[in-house]
Amino acid sequence: MANPSSLPHPSPESEEVYRRWLQFLDDEFTRHPAPERRSEIVRDQLYQIFLGRPHGGGLNLTLTSELPGNVMALAMDPQNVTLEAGHFADLDRDKWIPRKPLLWFWQMFDRSPLGLNHWLGLRFRCMLGRHIFAHIGTGVRIHHGVDLTYGYNLSIGDNVVIRQRALLNDRGGIAIGKGTVIGSFARVYSHTHSPEDFDRVTLAPVEIGENVRIGSHAIVLAGQKIPDGTVVGSFPADPR
**Angle at CA of residue 181, ends 105 and 165, nearest 5°:** 40
**Chain segment 113-130, per-residue pLDDT in tens:** 999 999 999 999 999 999
Does residue 10 fall inside a structural domain?
Answer: no
Domain range for residue 228?
A: 136-240
Considering Cα of 75, then 76, then 78, then 84, what sign does the dihedral take?
positive
**Chain segment 30-51, per-residue pLDDT in tens:** 999 999 999 999 999 999 999 9
Beta strands in 87-158 (DSSP E): 135-136, 141-142, 147-148, 154-156
If asked whether residues 41 and 148 sit together in one domain, one would say: no
Q: What is the pLDDT of residue 209?
A: 98
If asked whether residues 38 and 128 sit together in one domain, one would say: yes
Question: Per-residue pLDDT for 4 more than 60?
Answer: no
**Chain segment 127-142, per-residue pLDDT in tens:** 999 999 999 999 999 9
Considering its fold, how many domains does the chain have in total?
2
With beta carbons less than 8 A apart as the criterion, state whether 115 and 134 touch: no
